[in-house]
Homo-oligomer: A and B are copies of this chain.
Amino acid sequence: MFYLAYFFGMEIVLLSVNKVKNQNLKSLIDEYDKRIRHYIKFSHINISNIKNSKKSPLDHINSEAILIKKEIKKGDLCILLDEKGDLLDSKKFSEFLNKTYNTNYKRIVFIIGGSYGFSESIYLLNFKKISLSKMTFTHQMTKLFFCEQLYRAHTILKNEKYHH
């Protein structure tokens, strides 16, 4: 059943507000991206950074919300990576993915917020929320954690040894 996702062209997107600037982090993420793409179509979307630092946090997340919504298409399953989300272990996360691969969604869009989190207007969309940890990490680091887990999930589903 697992291969259906690939055959039907399901895609995973990691949508986030900020680009990863740290080169070491970027290289680590690139490495996981490559590995993930052995299993599934996967891409990053970085929405344009809100430059105006004079903006209040509220204005910030509201502007971000508009840009996030612009990227969402019909046929997307959207999931917020959010501290308030469900705490899954790696196996449960892989099971969740597998279940979703057997649906009619075209894309699974995981969304990482900016430094100030998500605006109320995003929460009102009632997307599923998943938390990688109760601990707070920079959103750049969250990308690395997420990509590692996405890769790990596929090795679990395919019953493969994790490649270090």
Contacts and interface: CB of A to CB of B under 8 A. Distances in A.
> Number of copies of this chain in the oligomer?
2
A141 to B, nearest CB: 6
Interface string A122-164: 0000000000111111101100110011001000000000101
Interface of A: 22-25, 27-28, 83, 87-90, 93, 132-138, 140-141, 144-145, 148-149, 152, 162, 164
Contact of A90 (B93, B136, B145, B164): B136
Contact of A133 (B133, B144, B164): B133
Given A25-B28, A28-B25, A148 B152 contact: no
Contacts of A148: 137-138, 141
A15 to B, nearest CB: 20
B28 A134 contact: no
A144 to B, nearest CB: 8
Given A145-B145, A148-B141, A135 B93 contact: yes
A25 to B, nearest CB: 6
15 contacts: A25-B28, A28-B28, A87-B87, A87-B134, A88-B134, A89-B134, A89-B136, A90-B135, A133-B133, A136-B152, A137-B149, A138-B162, A141-B145, A141-B148, A145-B145
A28 B141 CA distance: 10
Nearest to A25: B28
A37 to B, nearest CB: 19
A53 to B, nearest CB: 13
Contacts of A90: 135-136
